[in-house]
Chains A and B, each alone.
Chain A
Amino acid sequence: MMKDHHVYLDYAASTPVDSRVVESMLPYFSQIYGNSSSAHHHGRQAEAALERARERVAGALNCMPEEIVFTSCGSESDNLALRGAALAAHQQRNAKRILITPVEHHAVSHTAAQLQELLGFEVEFMPVDAHGMLQVEQAARMLNLDTALVSAIYANNEIGTINPIAELGRLCRERGIPFHSDAVQAGAYLPLDVQKLNVDLMSLGAHKFYGPKGVGVLYIRRGTSLLPHLTGGSQEMGLRAGTHNIPYIVGLAEALTLAQSEREARGQTLRALRDELIHQVLTHIPDASLTGHPQERLPNHASFVFAGVDGNKLLIALDIEGFSCSSGSACKTGDPKPSGVLLALGLPPAVALGSLRITLGSNTTAADLERLIPVLVGTVERLRQLENASPVA
């Protein structure tokens, strides 16, 4: 209500559902509503939609339909991949090391931490550079017979850096170590050909690429051992029990197909806007730096740190001025903790607190960003004065 036109610049958090996707979903609420596991006519209708969706997703990822498992979200896919592959590796070859990067989404890092705390796995971190990019050569030296699983994020949610996962995947493949990648942020903008990416497991969530919230995918290369973590019926090859959410699965397939077919065009438009945004911010705001890789980053993604600024206050101030943005440490309850990802880049905690993430998408216009710049410049300046004046900083 704040402003007549509140600008959304948080597409990495979620995206509006594409109208074509909504259209594709609609028949599956009230017209085709059977349970895909039922043997009758209505069940077969639903099952047909499910398997059609699976084929479309397989087409987008260049894999076989039976390698696709539908889940409730990207986080669930990450959980299934890590827990499932780690438990299987432990059961089959008594391997207990899990390698991840220090810039993983919590869906990966917290799952790994739980495996360490409860089940005796050892979590080790592959090194990243100051841009948050995985150092493959150093990571390669950490691979051994005791490695149960390797997981590396494809494109980072906070800083946008794209990792060379295909290289790491190849090294894992040579050694017979299952390799997972969290591709949730990559889904909208990066190639997802699992053959070229050398992944054995890959997670996606539909709402990051203009699909609905509440549905995700885990790609599981044939031959990759996984123990189920949601047990019950035999849906999804017994890996993920639970009645299929047909309308959402259909929506995911449509959204993913659109995202991959329109990928180049979407990326080009946003990259131009994004590059101009970064240029303007770095030109007009002193003591501002880009976080993440300057080139190898998601085309819609700009992330910064502003020295001497409290990122939470910055978000509030921008919201009040009519811009919905994000920060690595954003938290509704106001608990100020620097982001673990930014600390992993080597930023001091005080600097990491001044983070801002601006992610563009389908409705972003050059005019929106032109309006943002003076607001951002003024807000950062005002907040810096506040920090300096504060008696109880």
Chain B
Amino acid sequence: MNASKRVVVAMSGGVDSSVAAILLKEAGFEVIGMMLRLWSEGGKNAANRCCAPDAMVKARRVAAMLDIPFYVIDAQEAFYQTVVSAFIDGYTRGITPNPCLTCNRQIRWGVLLEHARAFSADYFATGHYARKMTGEEGDHQLWRARDEHKDQSYVLHVLNQADLAQSLFPLGDLTKSEVRQIAAEHKLPVADRKDSQDLCFLAGKDYRDFLRRNAPATVRPGPILDQDGEVLGQHDGLAFYTIGQRKGLGLSTPEPRYVLAKDSTQNALLVGAKEQQGATRLEAEHANWIAGKFPEGDFQAWVKIRYKAAPARCTITPLDEARFQACFQHPLIDITPGQAAVVYRGEQCLGGGIITSSQS
């Protein structure tokens, strides 16, 4: 029934996207494999983790085994201009950006989806763990993956109706172990890479070194202040600390001190005792509501403030077209401006926005 439908699969050489390609092929689609060539800090010879030469070879081999065409699409310039520059700009402004969100919005569901459309593909598929559902009014919905440990709906909250209409997530109903088993059954030569928190374009492991090399403006020492405004020490630059951090502050206070917030106007790192941590309210901007409609009035929901955070119960108050507020029942200790606050109702991901501030 899918015989005449053409689908482009974003392949990385890894097990997930390879199995996604298998499942689509078995479902009868005309499958085309594509890989993005992304910018990497060390230039052409440095391996971007998402498209390292060995990953490219693996993806090609998988494509050959499946007897599907495979192409590499260059997105180095676009990736740098959008993802990397936003990353540098965000840290320079004192926030903690999430480049994967920019990449999904601008590169995967931007450059790559445009290519899929240019090649007359009906669908665009990825190996993300998430589910696409259809609402009562025929609207496209994004739901959490069945395997909740692998759920990646957080990084997909940036999609809109047009994106989702063409998107397929073949792994949404599978667990990781089921996916591994399918790969084994097909004797796939895929790398079972460890899930890594490292960013794909760093030459080294540490984003701080990347910033020192590529965004020297972030190396801007300033005061470490307590909540009374007393100077406790000096920081190396706001970008080098994370909210909730305790170690590495270089303080000699009798009690441990935690990073509470960053004050970019004063270039100050605000710290406090353990019990001073936590905020019950956040504001987010650049909101994307997947339904394409701005929610009317307050509603109860669950919000994830980081990719790996547990969903927290809250009330969402839309402020305007692009902004909302979330008020939590219990304080959260690591609400971080620059990360996304992603809104769920049950299994459904409604959308989200970029955190601008938190308040107690």
Contact = CB atoms under 8 A, between A and B. Distances in A.
B72 interface: yes
B44 A335 contact: yes
A333 B72 contact: yes
A334 B118 contact: no
A18 interface: no
A63 interface: no
Contacts of B82: 392
Contacts of A392: 78, 81-82, 106, 110-111
A320 B69 contact: yes
A383 B119 CA distance: 9
Interface in B38-97: 44, 56, 67-69, 71-74, 76, 78, 81-82
Contacts of B76: 335
Contact of A334 (B74, B81, B110, B120): B74
Contacts of B78: 392
Contact of B69 (A2, A312, A333, A336): A2
Interface string A35-68: 0000000000000000000000000000000000
A136 B42 CA distance: 44
B74 A317 contact: no
Contact of B118 (A1, A2, A336, A383): A383
Contacts of B67: 1
Contacts of B6: 320
A367 interface: no
Contact of A319 (B69, B115, B118, B120): B69
A333 B118 contact: no
Interface string A311-335: 0110011011000000000001111
A382 interface: yes
A386 B114 contact: yes
Q: State which size class the interface on B falls in.
A: 20 to 34
A380 to B, nearest CB: 11
Nearest to B37: A334
Contact of B68 (A1, A333, A383): A1
B111 to A, nearest CB: 7
A300 to B, nearest CB: 25
Contacts of B72: 332-334
A320 B74 contact: no
Nearest to A392: B78
Contacts of A391: 106, 110
Contacts of B117: 386
A105 B110 CA distance: 36
A283 interface: no
A317 B44 CA distance: 26
B265 to A, nearest CB: 32
A38 B78 CA distance: 60
A316 B37 contact: no
Given A320-B32, A333-B37, A334-B74, A313 B118 contact: yes
A31 interface: no
Interface in A268-288: none
Contacts of B71: 316, 319, 334
Contacts of A312: 73-74
A338 to B, nearest CB: 13
B104 to A, nearest CB: 14
Contacts of B106: 391-392
Contacts of B115: 313, 316, 386
A118 interface: no
A155 to B, nearest CB: 30
Interface in B280-337: none
A283 to B, nearest CB: 24
A312 B37 CA distance: 13
A390 interface: yes
B229 to A, nearest CB: 44
Contact of B119 (A1, A320, A334): A320
A319 B68 CA distance: 12
A335 B119 contact: no
A382 B119 CA distance: 9
Contacts of A333: 37, 56, 72
Contacts of A386: 114-115, 117-118
Contacts of B110: 391-392
Nearest to A337: B74
Nearest to A318: B119
Contacts of A320: 6, 32, 69, 119-120
Interface in A286-316: 312-313, 316
Interface in A146-203: none
Contacts of B30: 2
A84 B67 CA distance: 44
B111 A317 contact: no
A382 B37 contact: no
B54 to A, nearest CB: 13
Nearest to B71: A316
Interface string A358-393: 000000000000000000000000110010011110
Residue of B32, B44, B114 most packed against chain A (CB within 10 A): B114
Given A320-B120, A335-B76, A382-B118, 14 more contacts: A312-B73, A313-B115, A313-B118, A313-B119, A316-B115, A317-B118, A317-B120, A320-B69, A320-B119, A334-B72, A386-B114, A390-B114, A392-B78, A392-B81
**What 3 A-B pairs are tightest by C-beta distance, nearest first?**
A334-B72, A334-B74, A392-B78
28 contacts: A1-B68, A313-B73, A313-B115, A316-B119, A317-B118, A317-B119, A317-B120, A319-B71, A320-B6, A320-B119, A320-B120, A332-B72, A333-B56, A333-B72, A334-B71, A334-B73, A335-B37, A336-B74, A382-B118, A383-B118, A386-B115, A386-B118, A389-B114, A391-B106, A391-B110, A392-B81, A392-B82, A392-B110
